[in-house]
Amino acid sequence: MQVQGETVHVAGIYKRHWISLLVIFATLCDPYVLAGDRDKAAARESGKNYLTFGFLPVESPVALFKRFAPLREYLSTQIQQEVRIETAKDFIQFSERTSQRQYDIVFTAPHMALLALDGEEYELAATFTEPLRSVIVVMEKSPIRDVTGLEGATIATPPSRAIVTLVGINYLASQGLKSVRYKTYGTHNAAYSAVMGGEADAAMIANFIAMKASSTNTALKIVAQSEPFPGIGILVAKDLPDTLKQDIKKAIWGMKELPHGRSILKTIAQPGYIEADKKQFEVLRPFAQTALP
């Protein structure tokens, strides 16, 4: 029995040593560690092995997920970590989820980005290489030819809190229009679809969405547009590992430099992304409070 006891004891020692060797081997073979990126390894060990990319609900969920799937796949490949797209039912819910730090990466409107950056959860990663505009589109056969023809018209708009809606209404007021009727829809594509369906005379949408819509439907034409203003803000959570944050930023900034990246930007109707500063968004401060729940 004593010999057997000793045998069991020795076997236990070997077993423990073997497990230790396996742990060491697994650590050495960890692709994150081999790459020298221990921050990513730590993030993975925390139990979450993917990043959530929260998108402002500017389109229906199905349209949004389909449209931005190539961007998600590109980013996942570049940072070597799974990225999952999430959105919300409306702007209010999205703003609440952003303030609660429910997303690791955020794709949001500039005035909503400003509010998020006022807090402690996020830092600015990028904005558009080109500015946004609020544009007014009508059917090609419409008698409306310019901004003056919109007097008395019914204009379909995205949600009332959308920056394109806020800037667009302000622009039309500055043009002296007094009897315009605004009809609110849940998304940009719902707004221009209302025009195509005869529910409205015109639609107020973002210039990049108008560009995408006109490329697939030549029945629409632009009759007016606002002055340019800062584009979307892409934010990253401050509590992500520094090296991971930098990888995300570099991947986003570098899209226009890669043939595959340029192809994706064309597919998702985006101009590209560059490094940005919060000061660029301050011009939209008067509209920021309207984004609050």
Distance separating alpha carbons of residues 20 and 15, to the nearest angstrom: 9
Fold equal for 43-131+232-291 and 134-225: yes
Sites in the chain below the pLDDT cut of 50: 1-46
Over residues 47-95, the pLDDT tens digits come to 568 999 999 988 888 989 999 999 999 999 999 999 999 999 988 899 9
Which amino acid makes up residue 75?
L
Residue ranges per domain, the chain?
A: 2-34, 43-131+232-291, 134-225
CA–chain centroid gap for 139, Å, is: 29
What per-residue string of b and e applies to 18-48 under the rule 16 or more CB within 10 Å gives b?
Answer: eeeeeeeeeeeebebeeeebebbbebeeeee
Q: 3-class DSSP state for residue 223?
A: strand
pTM: 0.73
Q: Which two tokens stand for residue 106?
A: 């955020």
The 3-state DSSP class for residue 147 equals helix
Q: Tell me which of 3.40.190.10, 3.30.420.40, 3.10.129.10, 3.30.70.2860 is the CATH number of domain 134-225.
A: 3.40.190.10
Token duo for residue 87: 């959105």
Supply the pLDDT for residue 32.
33
CATH superfamily of 43-131+232-291: Periplasmic binding protein-like II (3.40.190.10)
In the block, tokens 């990028």 appear at 126
Query: How many CB atoms are closer than 10 A to CB 6?
Result: 10
Token digits of residue 23: 């742990």
- Integer Cα distance of 192 and 219 in angstroms: 11
DSSP state of 179: S
